[in-house]
């Protein structure tokens, strides 16, 4: 009974026991959801920590380091330019400057404005800074001011907390110890423009300079070098605390020139205040030992900026100080051209050295009279006498018979009217005219053009460097090319060897005849250049005078007997020229001289060339490995 009662009780309570608790179900779901959220959050955090510490750890470490380390590139030292003995002609000198790193300041314009209240900036500085800011990346420093004084540097350092991104840096500026002496050869440098920077990113660095003329321009890429870098520790306001690491840039190539600085000084001293040019060459290998063009200019002015007033003064000067007259000045060669005409005549087969032409003082062709410089004429003369007396009629007749094309071909072989491979920009080729050239300019070539070309007048134009090359080739019979670069980083090139240059395609017997005639010009009685005779024992020189008209003289004025070109205004007087080589029996040196409006080559240019040749022979630069004593050229005014 009792057992049945208990079973019934259990059956009654069983539905109640099997019912689920609603509150307990809700709690379980919330716990699970909360646990899932926690697990997900922890997973995300773990992933982020992994991302930050493992995958991106190096990147964030670099970013953290960049907050205290500032890295910038350094402009490399520009290569030196030295003379043949290693004497510096273009060098570098340290100077202080203020830079701004745009990436280290949030307000570039404000920083620059605050800087200008401490160190004044003119409109040109502001324009340059704005231009560089636009075209350069933020990590490239921009120069605010160059050539700072100690007082200016102190003021910048004192105000450093208010000038984030501004720092003092030591740079270099280009210096030219010889100033005007070598300005036309060395040239000058100037800050790069936008086109330069677009061509080479290296030029965006503060302090970089670009060659604008002379060797500085022609050898610019060799002189630039390779950029370096420096890492500096900075504080929260960007002030430099210490230097952590520095990698110096590789300096540019040192350019060794053929120039003898001492001889250059001697030549300049001989020319004095005249507007003139002179070239001294080693006629065996084409090395240019001296190259002077006067007046000159101070190249150092271009590094810091030439004032407007100075530029106007230079460009308005009728004597053109900015032009290197030795390579960019073109002049009628006058009678210095006659040996080239003679060689053309001899090679044509129409003349021999012994053939004679009669000179009555003029040549009449087609109703036009062409005068000889001597009113009385020279009579019947051969080639030797024609060169000795510089007879115009002889070369008028020779040119008329052989024609201008033969003359032009020979002149080009001698280097006249051609592009010479010298390491200077802005060189001119001059002109040896031909009928084809004249017709190309829609003009007729007539017989008179050929006749006057026979004495180096008319359209014929050459440079003083071409005259020196012409003289060197005539003296040695080799096709030497003039050059200024002798060595790169002290390693002498093959062009310094005489056998590097091939022989001219001209018979030696004809070259000997021309040299003999030029010897007579200087050393025989009645030669046109007795004032060029050397006074050095046992040494003789051969040469040729030239006077090149710059305006036509009428027939009536010539025949009046009262004409004297020395009485003309300076700008209307003929140019005075002289070419020479020495020693005569073993040619080593060639000299060309052009004195603008110097009137007579025999009176003005020949004595100057004699003095220059004397200085050269006494110094004998090509046979010295160290600079000859300055006293060697003090034999002075040898007559």
CA distance 227 to 229: 7
Confirm if 121 and 163 have CB atoms less than 8 A apart: no
3-state secondary structure of 107: coil
Total number of residues shown for the chain? 639
User: Of 349, 383, 380, whose CA–CA distance to 516 is shortest?
Assistant: 383
Q: Find the catalytic residue in 218, 335, 390, 547.
A: 335
Please name the residue that has the structure tokens 């790193």. Answer: 101
User: Of 316, 160, 137, whose CA–CA distance to 239 is shortest?
Assistant: 160
Residue 76 CA to its chain's centroid (Å): 19
Please name the residue that has the structure tokens 């007795």. Answer: 530
CA distance 601 to 591: 14
Tokens of 98: 């203020």
Cis peptide, bond prior to residue 410, ω within 30 of zero:
no
Confirm if 337 and 390 have CB atoms less than 8 A apart: no
User: Quick count: other Cβ atoms within 10 Å of Cβ 69?
Assistant: 14
Positive/negative CA dihedral, 425, 430, 432, 437: positive
Confirm if 569 and 359 have CB atoms less than 8 A apart: no
- The question of whether 335 is a catalytic residue gets the answer yes
Element (H, E) at 301: helix 301-304
Tokens of 323: 């032009």
| Ramachandran sector of residue 253 (left: φ over 0; alpha: ψ -120 to 50; beta: rest) | beta
Angle formed by the axes of helices 338-348 and 508-523, nearest 10°? 150
146 contact partners, CB below 8 Å, separation of at least 6: 95, 97, 171, 173, 207, 304
Tokens of 208: 């970089």
Q: How far is CA 12 from CA 22, 276, 295, in A?
A: 22, 138, 133
Please name the residue that has the structure tokens 């630039």. Answer: 224
Q: What is the DSSP string of 541-579?
A: -EEEEEEE-SS---HHHHHTS---GGGS-GGGSPEEEEE
Q: Catalytic residue positions?
A: 335
């Amino acid at each position: 009974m009792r057992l049945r009662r208990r079973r019934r009780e259990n059956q009654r309570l069983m539905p109640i026991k099997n019912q689920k608790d609603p509150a307990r179900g809700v709690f379980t779901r919330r716990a699970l959801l909360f646990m899932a959220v926690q697990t997900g959050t922890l997973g995300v955090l773990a992933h982020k920590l992994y991302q930050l510490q493992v995958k991106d750890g190096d990147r964030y470490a670099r970013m953290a380091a960049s907050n205290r380390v500032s890295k910038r590139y350094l402009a490399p030292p520009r290569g030196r330019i030295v003379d043949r003995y290693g004497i510096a002609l273009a060098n570098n000198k340290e100077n202080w400057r203020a830079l701004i790193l745009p990436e280290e300041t949030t307000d570039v314009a404000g920083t620059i404005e605050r800087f200008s209240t401490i160190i004044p900036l003119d409109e040109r500085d502001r324009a340059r800074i704005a231009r560089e800011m636009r075209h350069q990346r933020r990590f490239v420093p921009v120069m605010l001011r160059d050539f700072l004084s100690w007082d200016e540097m102190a003021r910048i350092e004192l105000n450093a907390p208010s000038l984030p991104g501004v720092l003092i840096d030591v740079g270099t500026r280009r210096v030219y110890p010889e100033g005007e002496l070598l300005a036309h050869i060395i040239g000058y440098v100037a800050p790069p423009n936008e086109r330069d920077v677009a061509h080479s990113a290296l030029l965006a660095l503060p302090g970089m300079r670009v060659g604008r003329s002379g060797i500085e321009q022609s050898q610019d890429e060799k002189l630039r070098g390779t950029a370096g870098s420096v890492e500096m520790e900075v504080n929260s306001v960007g002030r430099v605390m210490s230097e952590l690491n520095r990698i110096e840039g590789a300096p540019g190539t040192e350019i060794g020139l053929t120039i003898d600085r001492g001889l250059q000084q001697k030549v300049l001293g001989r020319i004095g205040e005249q507007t003139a040019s002179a070239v001294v060459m080693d006629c065996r290998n084409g090395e240019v030992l001296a190259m002077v063009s006067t007046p000159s200019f101070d190249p150092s002015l271009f590094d810091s900026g030439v004032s407007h007033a100075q530029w106007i003064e230079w460009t308005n000067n009728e004597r053109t100080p900015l032009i290197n007259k030795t390579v960019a000045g073109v002049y009628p060669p006058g009678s210095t051209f006659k040996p080239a005409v003679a060689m053309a005549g001899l090679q044509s087969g129409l003349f021999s050295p012994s053939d004679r032409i009669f000179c009555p003082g003029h040549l009449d062709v087609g109703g036009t009279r062409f005068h000889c410089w001597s009113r009385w004429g020279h009579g019947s003369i051969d080639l030797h006498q024609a060169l000795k007396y510089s007879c115009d009629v002889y070369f008028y007749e020779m040119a008329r018979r052989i024609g201008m094309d033969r003359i032009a071909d020979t002149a080009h072989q001698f280097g006249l009217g051609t592009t010479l491979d010298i390491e200077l920009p802005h060189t001119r080729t001059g002109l040896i005219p031909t009928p084809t050239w004249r017709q190309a300019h829609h003009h007729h070539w007539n017989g008179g053009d050929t006749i006057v070309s026979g004495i180096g007048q008319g359209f014929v134009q050459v440079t003083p460097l071409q005259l020196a090359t012409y003289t060197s080739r005539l003296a040695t019979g080799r096709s030497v090319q003039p050059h200024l670069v002798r060595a790169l980083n002290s390693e002498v090139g093959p062009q310094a060897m005489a056998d590097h240059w091939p022989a001219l395609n001209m018979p030696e017997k004809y070259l000997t005849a021309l040299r003999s005639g030029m010897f007579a010009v200087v050393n025989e009685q009645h030669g046109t250049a007795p004032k060029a005779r050397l006074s050095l024992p046992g040494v003789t020189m051969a040469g040729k005078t030239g006077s090149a008209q710059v305006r036509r003289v009428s027939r009536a004025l010539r025949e009046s007997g009262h004409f004297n070109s020395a009485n003309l205004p300076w700008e209307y007087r003929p140019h005075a020229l002289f070419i020479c080589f020495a020693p005569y029996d073993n040619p080593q040196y060639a000299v060309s001289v052009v004195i603008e409006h110097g009137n007579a080559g025999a009176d003005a240019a020949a004595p100057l060339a004699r003095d220059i040749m004397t200085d050269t022979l006494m110094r004998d630069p090509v046979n010295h490995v160290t600079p000859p004593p300055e006293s060697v050229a003090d034999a002075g005014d040898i007559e």
